[in-house]
Amino acid sequence: MSDVIPPPKRTSELVVAHMHQLIRSGEWPVGERIPAEPELVGRFGVGRNTIREAVRALEHVGMLAPRRGDGTYVRSASPYAAVIQRSATTELLDLLQVRRALESEAAAGAASTATAVAKRRIRKLLDTAEKALVSGDSEQYDAADIDFHAGVVAASGNGLLVEIYAGVVEAMRRSHAEVTSAFRAGQMHPLGHRDLVDAIERGDAEAARAAVHAYLTEAEKEVRR
């Protein structure tokens, strides 16, 4: 066992950590401008160079974005989301493979640990997506279906998984219509969604995983056509 004492963090790293927490907590909401540099200097009790270094670090991971002549704005509440947001050329099949890995484990986790409230919310999200599908409102359906998948991940109770999946959601918003166009044309929800909800409700983790694999296999078939 090592007795090496880690060096203390630099002041800028401490400021980055605090700013990160302000963003994640919602005190600095996504889309809003952060306080001006002089205010940050006074709030944190550090020099301008330290503030600038911290802001640059958060800009680098995509959580903050400068706007010329208008200050710095919160771009994302998650560095994982920001990484995928910057990857505008994400291939659909690559995205589906990532979804398969994350959503299958989230589904199993939700089946094992989801509360009754979470299970009801997932069922409601699915109902909303299906109603939008039947009504023919493609934009509403795309948004509702993404909310459903994010709801399943949230029901897993795994905070890190939820944070990572936030990045996947951003990529899904860019490509979801292409993946689901065939399902919408057929006025049917992709295979496995209702099976997934049923499995989560009865606590069957393996069936939940299988349902995820079923609907993503169908999606991959549509992409390859």
Residues 73 and 108 in one domain: no
User: What does the pLDDT read at residue 110?
Assistant: 97
Residues 67 and 95 in one domain: no
Strand partners, 74: 64
pLDDT tens string, the chain, 225 residues long: the values are 456 555 557 888 899 999 988 988 889 988 899 999 999 999 999 999 999 999 998 888 778 889 888 899 988 777 766 555 555 445 778 888 889 999 999 999 999 999 999 999 999 999 998 888 888 888 888 889 999 999 999 999 998 888 788 778 877 877 766 666 655 554 455 568 999 999 999 999 999 999 999 989 888 887 777
Residues 36 and 116 in one domain: no
Residue 203 maps to which CATH number?
Answer: 1.20.120.530
- Note down the domain range covering 27: 11-77
Q: In angstroms, how far is the first alpha carbon of the chain from the final one?
A: 55
Q: How many beta carbons lie within 10 A of that of residue 181, not counting itself? A: 13
Give yes or no for a contact between 185 and 134, defined as CB atoms under 8 angstroms apart: no
Residue 24 maps to which CATH number?
Answer: 1.10.10.10
Residues 66 and 87 in one domain: no
Residues 70 and 103 in one domain: no
Reported residue count of the chain is 225
The residue among 52, 77, 102 that closes a domain is: 77
Residues 98 and 73 in one domain: no
- Percentage of residues of the chain with pLDDT beyond 90: 44
Distance of CA 130 to the CA centre of its chain: 22
Cα(145)–Cα(125) distance, rounded to whole angstroms? Answer: 8
pTM, 2 dp: 0.67
